[in-house]
């Protein structure tokens, strides 16, 4: 089945997805907001993207929201989690009944956040909304050369809709684009986002190195060491405890990344990070105001800790990383970060939380 797909978010993932999905035979419209500072003139002039050395002509490139939404089967939001509310406000008035909204990002209960915006705006379109645990690609895009480098696919990407009763219907359509693994709820999807356990702890422990020479810092092959990897292990243990209380599969960081295709099998976690053929050559974070730290604490660790509090799990290491990040950046992440309360969720136990997610 050929799908009409509107992609919101013209970063590494969005541009790569536009070319890749076009190669699959879909009709893709790539949207760039007028506020974006990224130079995508080469795409706008020719509708072409060079994907792994081959020129791919997408259906269209636009800076008009209505054009990117109107008539599309699927709207893909390949955006950072903190941008969900703003992007939703931007496109909401143009939504059409029967559309599928897929949030292709590092999962942070973005589906609820999107629906909360629609409700606040009084938009009552019959749309289905869901998210995957992480971006479908490891990729990089260079706007100067117009080259997208698709390094690899996430081979075990959990997906759920909100409410979860819509998951099967969404997967029937989205399976034309990607191979997903069905999750029980978006809570399970969010708890399997690999970024909050991998990025903030090792990054802030390398704060001096990043401040001094961030432009030459590689987190995966340099910043994760025999000592900083212990923080990853401990946060992962806390995350697994939350999963168990909620009745979800609890798989450690190493095994999860192996089945996603990012880590090689049969090695200790430290070596898997340092030697990952997909991740090791990714530069950064080059400063402390980086998504690896700000987003993965604000929309990642704080949310995980909030879920843990709601279901009675202690998270001392998560809490310490949140606290230390706030000290370094001079802000209170427990105050500004994403919580169940801010999502409008007030629950008594794990069973009640799962019921809310199923719908």
Q: Could you tell me which of 178, 173, 140 has the C-alpha nearest to residue 156? A: 178
Question: What are 284's strand-pairing partners?
Answer: 218
What pLDDT is attached to residue 347? Answer: 76
**Contact present, 155 and 261 (Cβ < 8 Å):** yes
Task: Give the domain-ending residue among 158, 191, 224.
Answer: 191
Q: What is the pLDDT of residues 2-34, one digit of tens each?
A: 999 999 999 999 999 999 999 999 999 999 987
Tokens of 151: 């390094």
Query: Does residue 216 share a domain with residue 183?
Result: no
Query: Does residue 221 share a domain with residue 117?
Result: no
What pLDDT is attached to residue 348? Answer: 66
What pLDDT is attached to residue 51? Answer: 96
* Phi, psi of 355, rounded to the nearest 5 degrees: -65, -40
User: Residue 146: which region, alpha, beta or left (left: phi > 0; alpha: psi -120 to 50)?
Assistant: left
Query: Does residue 200 share a domain with residue 186?
Result: no
Q: Which residues of the chain have pLDDT under 50?
A: none
Q: What is the pLDDT of residues 337-346, one digit of tens each?
A: 999 999 999 8
Query: Does residue 250 share a domain with residue 233?
Result: yes
Task: Give the domain-ending residue among 127, 157, 191.
Answer: 191
Number of compact structural domains in the chain: 2
Query: Does residue 317 share a domain with residue 262?
Result: yes
Q: What is the CATH number of the domain that holds 354?
A: 1.10.1040.10
Query: Does residue 242 share a domain with residue 204?
Result: yes
**Contact present, 25 and 3 (Cβ < 8 Å):** no
Query: Does residue 215 share a domain with residue 292?
Result: yes
Query: Does residue 201 share a domain with residue 185?
Result: no
Query: Does residue 284 share a domain with residue 253?
Result: yes
Query: Does residue 242 share a domain with residue 107?
Result: no
**60-62/54-57 β-pairing:** unpaired
**pTM as predicted:** 0.95
**Contact present, 283 and 296 (Cβ < 8 Å):** no
CA distance 32 to 15: 10
Task: Give the domain-ending residue among 149, 170, 191.
Answer: 191
Query: Does residue 175 share a domain with residue 242?
Result: no
> Which residues span the domain enclosing 136?
4-191
Interaxial angle between packed helices 350-358 and 229-246, expressed in degrees from 0 to 180 and rounded to the nearest 10? 80
Query: Does residue 202 share a domain with residue 182?
Result: no
What pLDDT is attached to residue 351? Answer: 79
Q: What is the pLDDT of residues 253-281, one digit of tens each?
A: 999 999 999 999 999 999 999 999 989 98
Give the long-range contacts of residues 352-355, CB within 8 A, separation 24 or more. 353/187, 353/246, 353/307, 353/310, 353/311, 354/184, 354/185, 354/187, 354/246, 354/247
């Amino acid at each position: 089945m050929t799908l009409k797909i509107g992609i919101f978010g013209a970063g590494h993932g969005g541009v790569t997805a536009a070319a890749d999905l076009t190669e699959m035979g879909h009709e893709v419209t790539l949207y760039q907001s007028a506020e974006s500072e990224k130079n995508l003139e080469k795409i706008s002039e020719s509708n072409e993207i060079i994907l792994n050395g081959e020129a791919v002509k997408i259906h269209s490139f636009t800076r008009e929201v209505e054009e990117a939404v109107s008539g599309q089967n699927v709207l893909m939001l390949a955006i950072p989690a903190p941008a969900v509310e703003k992007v939703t406000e931007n496109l909401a008035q143009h939504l059409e009944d029967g559309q599928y909204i897929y949030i292709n990002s590092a999962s942070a209960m973005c589906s609820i956040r999107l629906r909360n915006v629609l409700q606040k705006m009084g938009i009552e379109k019959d749309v289905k909304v869901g998210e995957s645990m992480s971006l479908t690609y490891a990729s990089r895009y260079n706007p100067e050369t117009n080259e997208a480098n698709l390094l690899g696919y996430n081979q075990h990407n959990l997906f759920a809709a909100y409410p979860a009763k819509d998951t099967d219907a969404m997967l029937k359509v989205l399976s034309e684009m990607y191979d997903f693994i069905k999750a029980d709820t978006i809570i399970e999807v969010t708890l399997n986002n690999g970024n909050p356990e991998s990025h903030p702890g090792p990054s802030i422990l390398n704060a001096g190195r990043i401040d001094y020479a961030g432009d030459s810092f590689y987190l995966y092959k340099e910043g994760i060491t025999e000592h900083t990897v212990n923080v990853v292990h401990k946060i992962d243990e806390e995350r697994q405890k939350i999963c168990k209380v909620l009745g979800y599969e609890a798989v450690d960081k190493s095994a999860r990344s192996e089945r996603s295709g990012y880590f090689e099998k049969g090695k200790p976690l430290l070596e898997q990070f340092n030697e990952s053929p997909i991740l090791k050559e990714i530069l950064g974070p080059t400063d402390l105001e980086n998504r690896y730290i700000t987003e993965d604490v604000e929309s990642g660790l704080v949310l995980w800790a909030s879920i843990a509090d709601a279901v009675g799990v202690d998270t001392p290491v998560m809490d310490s990383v949140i606290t230390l990040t706030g000290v370094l950046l001079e802000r209170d992440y427990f105050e500004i970060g994403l919580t169940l309360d801010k999502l409008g969720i007030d629950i008594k136990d794990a069973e009640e939380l799962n019921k809310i997610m199923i719908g």
